């Protein structure tokens, strides 16, 4: 494990920072900054800039924007994140999924107008900033956790194929076309006979060099080397005569401060686009930040990340860029290059700024096929074959959910795919909450403990007693499922039941619907001479039960009585009357 700049306040035993120090993370790590880290941060910053410039040029093409807009993302996004983000190694810039999302969605909104396209992209970044800062103010960082990793696994795989398909025409040197995934495949297949073999060969060599660099020179700016070599070759040879398309001249100088000329009401659909970008940005950034923090022995502040990303996107929207996020690949470059603190992002921004002021002319002859190669190599990391196999092995149901998200992206596009992924995540959560497991318990042999008899067939049932335990809070949307499961099991009992024990130890909350379900259950059981007893209720649940008067029906409620105690009391008491026949569901 690498040496951490400083352990988190929680791990080091110090009180968590408050006031302006909590709002401004540099006030936490700068006092502990060591002179030896400066060289590492400078090297990491320069290395990140060398990696980020060619990658950002490629991602800008995905977003449908001029190449310099991707560079602006790294320039301003990383600098302002360094002031407010809680991660010390996370690198902020454009990502493939967000770039593609912006590109395919803004295309319809812009109607072919490049100026409007750029304004919509910047406006989207500003809306992402508003949403992130609003979520930070309302402490909503945990809400994003409701989007399951299973859904994201399928979404990323679908996005990777979608992005790759947009780059294949550049690799083959053909025009391409089409709006949807399968339409693009059909058009590309028809254009294969027109392949420019020189462009294809050049692109394949570039891909090979990038892959070899990933394997043997991890964390090194191999992409920059490929860009330099490619640009030199097209500048000093006759290759341009073979049909190579190049980036062309980039504008020299730093981006100007500029408010987008449009407002949200002027662009139909920009708010859903911004919401999708915000979700992707936050989920991807926090996932990468947590992985890096764990390897360095500190913790990130998930809420503070909302503020950091909000400020980064605010700067992107005001300086001619588009939505930014923290990607794992660029962050890994920053980390492996030796970054100790967010100061590395500041040095990366300084390096990129110098390149924009003095070196843009060197990229004029950069071939587009090299940018396509960079994207194709980058997006392969979005398809996690090992994790897909793991999900298939562990849960076929979860795998089906993954494939649903995957298919949604391919069939509907990335924006609608994001929305479908969110809806499926919510529906999956609701389904699980509405259909909690209902465990029926038996005694573990030789003990006074009870557990699920279905999972442990050796458990001993208690004659005349039915013990059940809802494995969730009892709320209005799941009480019918719990009630029907209970009566179904009661009907299946071969012998009369004289006592029903409801174990609420796994039910941390209960609303009025849950209390009234127990009251109805008590009345129906009592009609057949069967008693109902409640054990294991948490303090707040006991308060609700007492407020509704259930303690007057089922007896005293406390935290000490166990299932074994209730069974012992049942055996000790002499039955006053023979029990009636067990109830049927229709009797309720």
For 486-520, write each residue's pLDDT tens digit: 999 999 998 899 999 999 999 999 999 999 999 99
Whole-angstrom distance, CA of residue 124 vs CA of residue 495: 66
65 pLDDT above the threshold of 70: yes
Whole-angstrom distance, CA of residue 529 vs CA of residue 499: 9
CB 550 within 8 A of CB 534: yes
CB 327 within 8 A of CB 98: no
pLDDT at 159: 85
At residue 16 the predicted structure's pLDDT band, cuts being 50, 70 and 90, is low
At residue 14 the predicted structure's pLDDT band, cuts being 50, 70 and 90, is low
Residue 59, SS3 per DSSP: helix
Whole-angstrom distance, CA of residue 579 vs CA of residue 574: 12
Give residues with Cβ within 8 angstroms of 401, minimum separation 6.
Answer: 148, 150, 151, 154, 424, 428
pLDDT at 375: 85
At residue 405 the predicted structure's pLDDT band, cuts being 50, 70 and 90, is confident
Whole-angstrom distance, CA of residue 223 vs CA of residue 210: 6
329 pLDDT above the threshold of 70: yes
Please report where in the chains the tokens 């992002």 appear, as a residue: 345
pLDDT at 422: 75
146 pLDDT above the threshold of 70: no
pLDDT at 359: 85
Please report where in the chains the tokens 């800039």 appear, as a residue: 49
Rounded to 5°, angle at Cα 165 from 164 and 170 = 90
Please report where in the chains the tokens 């569901």 appear, as a residue: 585
Residue 266, SS3 per DSSP: helix
pLDDT at 532: 94
Residue closest to 585 by CA, chosen among 531, 534, 520, 500: 520
47 pLDDT above the threshold of 50: yes
pLDDT at 459: 94
pLDDT at 11: 44
According to DSSP, residue 254 is labeled P
Give residues with Cβ within 8 angstroms of 123, minimum separation 6.
Answer: 260, 262, 263, 264, 267, 270, 317
Q: At what angle do helices 222-236 and 368-379 cross, to 10 degrees?
A: 160
pLDDT at 232: 92
At residue 291 the predicted structure's pLDDT band, cuts being 50, 70 and 90, is confident
According to DSSP, residue 448 is labeled S
pLDDT at 585: 41
H helix or E strand, kind and range, residue 170:
helix 149-172
Predicted confidence (pLDDT) per residue in 107-127, tens digit: 889 888 899 999 999 999 999
Predicted confidence (pLDDT) per residue in 30-46, tens digit: 888 998 899 999 988 98
426 pLDDT above the threshold of 70: yes
pLDDT at 68: 92
At residue 166 the predicted structure's pLDDT band, cuts being 50, 70 and 90, is confident
pLDDT at 7: 39
578 pLDDT above the threshold of 60: no
Predicted confidence (pLDDT) per residue in 362-378, tens digit: 888 889 999 889 888 88
Q: What is the mean pLDDT of the chain?
A: 87
CATH numbers and ranges of domains, the chain = 9-30+38-428 (no CATH), 438-587 (3.30.750.24)
What are the residue ranges of helices labelled H in 385-498?
385-394, 396-412, 414-434, 479-492
pLDDT at 442: 94
Residue 435, SS3 per DSSP: coil
More confident residue, 543 or 13: 543
Q: What Rg, from alpha-carbon coordinates, does the chain have?
A: 30
CB 312 within 8 A of CB 324: yes
128 pLDDT above the threshold of 90: yes
Range of weakest confidence among 167-176, 200-209, 284-293, 542-551: 284-293
584 pLDDT above the threshold of 70: no
What does the pLDDT average to over 293-305?
88
Range of weakest confidence among 146-150, 188-192, 253-257, 456-460: 146-150
577 pLDDT above the threshold of 70: no
pLDDT at 558: 87
CB 144 within 8 A of CB 282: yes
CB burial class (10 A; 0-12, 13-18, 19+) of residue 12? exposed
pLDDT at 587: 45
What are the residue ranges of helices labelled H in 173-258?
181-191, 197-216, 222-236
pLDDT at 15: 53
Q: Say what percent of the chain tops pLDDT 70.
A: 93
CB 501 within 8 A of CB 563: yes
């Amino acid at each position: 494990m690498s040496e951490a700049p400083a352990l988190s306040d929680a791990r080091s035993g110090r009180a968590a920072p408050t006031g302006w120090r909590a709002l401004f993370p540099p006030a936490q790590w700068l006092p502990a900054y060591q002179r030896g880290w400066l060289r590492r941060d400078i090297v990491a910053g320069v290395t990140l800039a060398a990696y980020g410039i060619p990658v950002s040029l490629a991602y800008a093409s995905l977003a449908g924007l001029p190449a310099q807009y991707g560079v602006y993302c790294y320039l301003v996004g990383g600098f302002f994140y360094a002031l407010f983000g809680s991660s010390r190694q996370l690198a902020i810039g454009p990502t493939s999924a967000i770039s593609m999302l912006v590109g395919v969605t803004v295309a319809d909104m812009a109607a072919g107008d490049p100026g409007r396209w750029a304004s919509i992209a910047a406006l989207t970044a500003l809306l992402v900033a508003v949403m992130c800062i609003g979520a930070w103010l309302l402490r909503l960082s945990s809400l994003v956790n409701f989007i399951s990793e299973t859904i994201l696994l399928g979404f990323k795989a679908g996005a990777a194929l979608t992005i790759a398909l947009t780059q294949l025409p550049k690799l083959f040197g053909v025009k391409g076309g089409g709006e949807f995934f399968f339409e693009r495949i059909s058009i590309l297949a028809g254009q294969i006979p027109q392949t420019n073999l020189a462009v294809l060969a050049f692109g394949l060599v570039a891909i090979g060099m990038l892959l070899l660099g990933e394997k043997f020179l991890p964390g090194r700016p191999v992409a920059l080397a490929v860009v330099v070599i490619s640009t030199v070759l097209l500048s000093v040879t006759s290759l341009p005569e073979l049909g190579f398309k190049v980036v062309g001249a980039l504008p020299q100088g730093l981006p100007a401060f500029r408010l987008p000329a449009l407002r949200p009401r002027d662009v139909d659909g920009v708010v859903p686009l911004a919401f999708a970008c915000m979700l992707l940005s936050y989920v991807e950034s926090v996932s990468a930040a947590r992985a890096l923090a764990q390897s360095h022995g500190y913790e990130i502040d998930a809420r503070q990340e909302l503020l950091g990303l909000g400020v980064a996107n605010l700067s992107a929207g005001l300086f001619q860029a588009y939505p930014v996020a923290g990607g794992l690949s660029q962050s890994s470059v920053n980390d492996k290059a030796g970054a100790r603190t967010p100061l590395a992002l500041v040095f990366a921004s300084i390096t990129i700024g110098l390149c924009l002021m003095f070196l843009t002319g060197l990229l004029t002859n950069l071939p587009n096929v090299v940018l396509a190669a960079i994207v194709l190599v980058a997006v392969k990391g979005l398809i996690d074959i090992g994790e897909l196999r793991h999900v298939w092995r562990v849960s076929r149901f979860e795998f089906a959910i993954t494939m649903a998200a995957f298919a949604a992206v391919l069939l509907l596009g990335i924006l609608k795919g994001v929305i479908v992924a969110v809806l499926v995540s919510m529906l999956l959560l609701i389904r699980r909450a509405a259909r909690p497991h209902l465990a029926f318990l038996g005694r573990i042999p030789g003990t006074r403990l009870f557990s699920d008899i279905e999972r442990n067939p050796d458990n001993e049932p208690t004659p005349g007693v039915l013990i059940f335990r809802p494995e969730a809070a009892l709320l209005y949307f799941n009480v019918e499922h719990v009630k029907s499961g209970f009566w179904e099991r009661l009907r299946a009992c071969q012998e009369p039941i004289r006592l029903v024990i409801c174990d609420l130890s796994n039910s941390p909350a209960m609303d009025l619907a849950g209390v009234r379900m127990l009251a109805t259950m008590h009345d129906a059981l009592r009609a057949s001479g069967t008693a109902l007893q409640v054990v294991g209720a948490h303090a707040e649940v006991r308060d609700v039960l007492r407020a509704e008067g259930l303690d007057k029906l089922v007896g005293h409620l406390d935290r000490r009585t166990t299932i074994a105690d209730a069974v012992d009391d049942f055996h000790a008491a002499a039955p006053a009357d023979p029990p009636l026949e067990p109830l049927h569901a229709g009797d309720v």
